[in-house]
A and B are shown apart, each in its own frame.
Chain A
Amino acid sequence: MPTSTTRRGFLGLVGASVLAAGCAEKRQVSKGTAVAADKLKSLVPTRIPFEIPGLKPDLPGAEFVQPGFLTRPATMVQAVTAKPLTSGKEVAAMTPLWGTVPPGLGSNSYYDTVNERLGGVVRFNISDGNTYGQKLSTLLASGDVPEMVMVPEWELIKIGHFTEAANKLFADLSPYLAGDKAKEFPLLANYDTAAWQYGVFGNVLQGIPWQNDPYPFATFVRQDILQELGLQHPKSGDDLLALGKAITDAKGKRWAFGGGMEQEMQRAFGAPREWRKKSDGTLEYKYETAEFAAAIEFMVKLFEAGYVHPDVVANKDADNKGIFGSGQMVIYRDGLGAWHENLGRFQPDNPKFDMQIVDPYPARPGGKTIMWRNEPASMFVFIRKGLGDARTRELLALSNWTSAPFGTQEYELVHNGVEGKHYTIDDGKVKQTALGRKEVAPTYMFLSGRPNANAMSQYEGLVQAQHDWQTEASKLLENDPFVGIRVEKPSRMAGLTVPTEDKMQEIFRGKRPVSEWPKIVKEWQDQGGNEAREFYMKTARENGRL
């Protein structure tokens, strides 16, 4: 019969159901989930700092400042003496890969060496990082998951019903890790509590977290070009406008700004990263704040004046790093990891290339400066459910082993391979060999996370500058009302983010008037923003945050 359904019949059916449903609603659409903070504490490991004997950072760390190493430690310590894999059974693990494909098991001496140290074979099912989510969602939906799976947060939010998927497919880790039980896995107990708490999904501890830096991003400048032009770092948003004028020279193919500056400006104006408590005790989302609107107005000025590189105007996701490296653009926003990445990419060919970080600045001179605090974890490793106690413990021991932080032999082996074979030490700097480039793929490091260290001493001055910046920024960190609570975004609200921010981008680019922003915010509220607010307020109240 389906072939005979007429057009009218079909539309009639649809129309009828629209009428019947009124405003269509799906019962199961994720309304978001959250776990109360005190409950969280009982689910996760109690933190026991792991002291590496004989390893003393040159620049001491603090809660939000990574310990800094100005030179490479002469000797590395062995953190785990026992071999973690004892059953002799192969471990199957799925990890993303950004980079070239390494030779497989049996023809890869890096794999052989690490597996030797582990006491068993890990068989990686590696998959292109760019399409990882595609494969992941297919495997999850068909229930066909390997023993260990690494899931980045940015893919996780694109998978419908992820919490239910995790609860159904992956093991509850609390029986092995909650509270003092984690003593059995001292390197896992070494993680930040906030990061562990972020691995709780629907009241169950499931993900071994990959700890995040507390700082989402910073403004970077081409110091060499600023110097050439005799210009200073911006101290406020107003300075940015002046710099834009001084730097931009379209004829000389040079523009002041690259992508992502809007987030810096939202921060500079003092808008919250997500939610903020209002004086009347309710929550407001960043879009709804006056600061956010002011940031939009400011960005329109940058775009209108033609200070933004045309490739970025044409594509907000343009290759900022490449444009920055060519000197066609001088100031942009990026994650902190971009710093050493760019130095490594551009300095070898252009010794003059000098990239510097800008201290957090306010929008107006003398204004209050804040720094947004990032999510505590950005990736998670899951262990399949139903493997049995012994196997689950064995896999946790494997994660424990790969969690060894900077300064340990395990860390060196996982990240660099074997000295003399995959890398050499030249003047205190690690230099990868051809074999290392080919074989040492990021694989074992994705079987867990680890506390970060500031140890890129191969780049002149980087460790010190990073340490200074973090020290400065850590004083300005602003907590949102949900810090320490894992809140899964309601899917309706998650779906609104891109359409709403696309409209904001259109305002920057003169495709919509600034005056339209309140209307856009209203649409956001009506289509799911208000609903999300209720959910967040309920969560905040349950946790005594309101």
Chain B
Amino acid sequence: MTALTSRARRAPAGLAPWEERRHPAGQFGKGALITLILVAVLGPLYTIVLTSLSSSATVNAAGGLVLVPDGITFEAYRQIFSDTVVSRAVLVSTGVTVAGTLISAGVSVLGAYSLSRPGSFLHRPLLFSVLLMFVFFPGIIPVYLMVSGLGLKDSYWSLILPTAVSAFNVVVLRSFFMSIPGEILDSARIDGAGEFRILFRIVLPMSKAVTAVVAMFYAVGYWNSWFNAMLYIDDTRKWPLALILRQYVVDSNPLPAATAGVTGDAPPTLAIKMAIVVIAVIPALILYPLVQRHFTKGVIVGAIKG
């Protein structure tokens, strides 16, 4: 490790020695701006969390999101998690997200690297097969016919394969891969390294941040996706969490008068809705710090010299 990278690691403690003192007015302005941003995000977040923790009486009296606390209850969460269907769906979602992210990230890294060398064999047609995904889309019905034709209905594969490649992620990865100085790759090639070796030994270690980000994009996508499951999975035992939770957020029952059955003492739907919003955010809260770890400055330096 060079002195510089270790200095970068130490940066949290303060400024690098070559950095000039910060101007107090600038510091104040920045502080005010950050405070404003935090208030703008945390304020609504507070009402969301508060509403999810409120009793039906409080929510009914507010007629919307609750701004002023009036007793805290975990009833909404208790009701959601007491449901065996939900705990099962958490497993399904975790499995699909982990498997899907590994597959997607793997396929995308390989694909993006294979497209990062203009002038290679079939480069342009293959690149355009990805780029045109930005502008031309298949309809729902033909994709459905393909999925059911391949016998993937009611299979977890139907939740992964149709959305396994995101053109955006591939193009972003490719752009980062192409930013790596050519000399590094050339010298590796001269040393006799093959493409796979270059990718895994040089390119990937130098692209940890973007790879982590792309993996997170995929993971978040898989975790929150419900549409494919709605279409392809008939067996509710295989439903992912996102689809199960959607059922709690029904706005109002469009059924004719006589349908609605007996009303129990269920907690208010809005509290449940907000509890679901909170639950949906939790994996992101867990995931992001993992990704952030790769945002440390000086990765390139470390990779080259290490």
Contact = CB atoms under 8 A, between A and B. Distances in A.
Asked if the two chains touch in their complex, CB atoms less than 8 Å apart, one says: yes
Interface of A: 3, 97-104, 107, 125-131, 134-135, 138, 141-142, 144, 152, 154, 210, 212-213, 311, 319, 321-323, 325-328, 335-337, 339-341, 344-346, 348-350, 378-379, 415-416, 423, 430-432, 436-438, 440, 442, 445, 452-453, 458
17 contacts: A98-B250, A100-B248, A128-B247, A141-B141, A152-B254, A213-B258, A337-B260, A340-B257, A345-B60, A345-B268, A348-B56, A348-B265, A379-B256, A432-B263, A436-B264, A437-B266, A445-B259
Contact of B262 (A100, A311, A430): A430
B231 interface: yes
Contact of A337 (B63, B246, B256): B256
B115 to A, nearest CB: 18
A79 B249 CA distance: 36
Nearest to A445: B259
A25 B258 CA distance: 43
B256 A378 contact: yes
A327 to B, nearest CB: 7
A103 B141 contact: no
A101 B244 contact: yes
Nearest to A455: B258
Interface stretch (B179-187, B217-225, B232-240, B281-289): B232-240
A423 B262 contact: yes
B60 A142 contact: no
A176 B264 CA distance: 40
Contacts of B251: 130, 319
Interface residues of B, number: 49
Interface of B: 55-57, 60-64, 83-85, 128, 140-141, 144-145, 148, 227, 230-231, 234-237, 239, 243-244, 246-248, 250-266, 268, 270
A138 B141 contact: yes
Contacts of A445: 259
A20 to B, nearest CB: 26
A357 to B, nearest CB: 12
Contacts of A127: 230
Given A98-B250, A129-B254, A431 B262 contact: yes
Given A135-B230, A438-B83, A442-B261, A99 B247 contact: yes
B231 A135 contact: yes
Contact of A99 (B63, B145, B250, B265): B250
B102 to A, nearest CB: 28
A432 B256 CA distance: 21
A103 B253 contact: no
- Of B128, B248, B256, B265, chain A has the most CB atoms within 10 Å of the CB of B256
Contact of B253 (A98, A438, A440, A453): A98
Given A101-B247, A135-B231, A423-B262, A325 B63 contact: yes
